[in-house]
Structure 1
Amino acid sequence: MNTEKDFLYHFTENYDTILKILKDGFRLSGCLEQRKGLPGELSLLKTKVSVLCLTDIRLHEIKYHSEKYGSFGIGVTKKWAQSYHAQPVIYIDKNSGLCKAIEEYFPSIKNKFLNTNKESRDEEEMFLLNLELFCKDIEYFTEREWRILPQFIDDKLLKTIKGEYYIDISNQDDIVCIIAPRKHIPQLNKDIRLIFNKKYKNENIPFPIIPYEYLEMI
């Protein structure tokens, strides 16, 4: 039997985004990130990455997280996320032994990160590039982030819509809850049933829709 430790959540500011996730799957959105968790000059480098970010926090901790990312949320099973090779983020303290080891062991790491020619990258460069995509500064530890990156997913499992990557939720049972402000729930029920009837040929909603306001009381 699944318990809360088996779930991951994704939050957004928009009602329509929740519907789009249910209809098309999660979009692996592109963003430009600064690698603050890495040592020295590496912390100033910025990397463009397509990624889906999820969080491993518990429901009673979600209110703080949702205040930053939005009051609409969707919970999925870790088993579903792991089928797309989800990985917890590594939070690095700049004064840690790991941070010092990276700085000392890879003296030319800066040039490797700046190498944008994918075809000429060797195995070491690809390892470093993939590793840094899962590294963040320790100050973000409370986000308890998990990441899904397209380069680790079988091409057959990736959907492409208007040039962007999506990963689908092909089984209703992999959705564990929806979170939304109370005023939106009646319409949300109707919209979800329409989507499910078309997508799964079954309009039943096998998970709870939790009022966002409930999170303020736990």
Structure 2
Amino acid sequence: MKPKSHTLFHFTSSLDNLTKILTSGFWPRYCSEDFRWYNEALGYVAYPMVCFCDIPLTRITDHTMFYGRFGIGMKRDWAIRAGLNPVMYLSYNSPIRTNVLNLARQGQEDPNFFPSDEHRKIQVDAILNLISVIKPIEGVMEVGDPPRLLPKEFYLENEWRFVPQLEQGRICIPIQKFRTSKDEYNEYTFNNCLLKYSLDDIQYLFVEDDSAMRDMLGFLNSLLLTGKQTTEGVDLLKTKLITLESIETDF
């Protein structure tokens, strides 16, 4: 069994979410991140992102039970072209973690460390982008609304991540602002940061069962009737459909 796949998987909780991906693209939404590896007192922050896992089909059952029973599999070469990157998992005592912390804190104590405000901005932007693809190997994940805390071994997900390039006030926000204003921030990323692809970049479309398959086929046919997709496009998408029930039975 291969430990990874040439396909990256993104799962979601509903057929409606999946059809929105097919009509609009991937929407980078703000997600709370366990940030205690960086600053224990800070706790959590939020970044806008679209997340994928790089695991074989034989291992996706646990993943879908947590994230949702609908999903899409994208070819890995698309992910590379689109600027996605594998997440870097850090252990608490790693010298790499120490190096990242040292880089991030440069100039915080010495106001003359940077020769100009422009140099400071370049450094801060670079650090924020670097930290956006770093996670601890394990931590506590906020799930649901109101949020509940669940322990999770993050490194088992082999995550790839897309984080849009945004200005400092949007790339990383405090958890308090996330909880009070996430709809406003998510609206901005929907209007400005959708992650696009072509139909040829799709490897699989996952639905939960045969009933959901019929609903998805109805949706695809509606794309044809409304002129939002060609006959060739709809036929291509239909060839990529598979139920999670069949995967769990056959793999």
Interval containing the TM-score (normalised by the shorter chain): 0.7 to 0.9
Q: Which residue of 2 aligns with 1:213?
A: 245
CA distance in 2, matches of 1:30, 1:87: 17
Q: Aligned ranges for residues 184-195 of structure 1 at < 5 Å?
A: 184-195=212-223
Q: Which residue of 1 aligns with 2:202?
A: 175
Q: Which residue of 2 aligns with 1:31?
A: 31
2:45 is paired with a residue whose SS is strand
TM normalised by structure 2 equals: 0.70
In structure 2, list runs of 5 or more residues that go unmatched: 110-116, 139-153, 167-185
Count of aligned pairs between the two proteins: 198
In structure 1, list runs of 5 or more residues that go unmatched: 113-117, 153-160
CA distance in 2, matches of 1:27, 1:7: 19
Q: 1:107 to 1:78 in 2, by over 3 A?
A: closer
Residue 105 (structure 2) pairs with residue 98 (structure 1): no
CA distance in 1, matches of 2:104, 2:82: 33
TM normalised by structure 1 equals: 0.79
Question: 1:180: how far off?
Answer: 1.0
Q: Which residue of 2 aligns with 1:158?
A: none
Q: Pick one of 218, 228, 242 that aligns with 1:199.
A: 228
Q: Per-residue displacement from partner, 1:81-118 (whole Å, max 9, x unpaired)?
A: 22220000000011112123334x34736959xxxxx9
Over the aligned positions, Cα root-mean-square deviation in angstroms equals 2.8
Residue 49 (structure 2) pairs with residue 20 (structure 1): no
Aligned-residue sequence identity (percent) comes to 27
Q: Aligned ranges for residues 1-218 of structure 1 at < 5 Å?
A: 5-38=5-38, 41=39, 44-103=42-101, 105-106=102-103, 108=105, 111=108, 121-139=120-138, 140-151=154-165, 162-163=187-188, 164=190, 165-169=193-197, 171-182=198-209, 183-195=211-223, 198-202=227-231, 203-206=234-237, 207-217=239-249, 218=251
Q: 1:76 to 1:193 in 2, by over 3 A?
A: farther
CA distance in 1, matches of 2:15, 2:137: 31
CA distance in 1, matches of 2:215, 2:165: 37
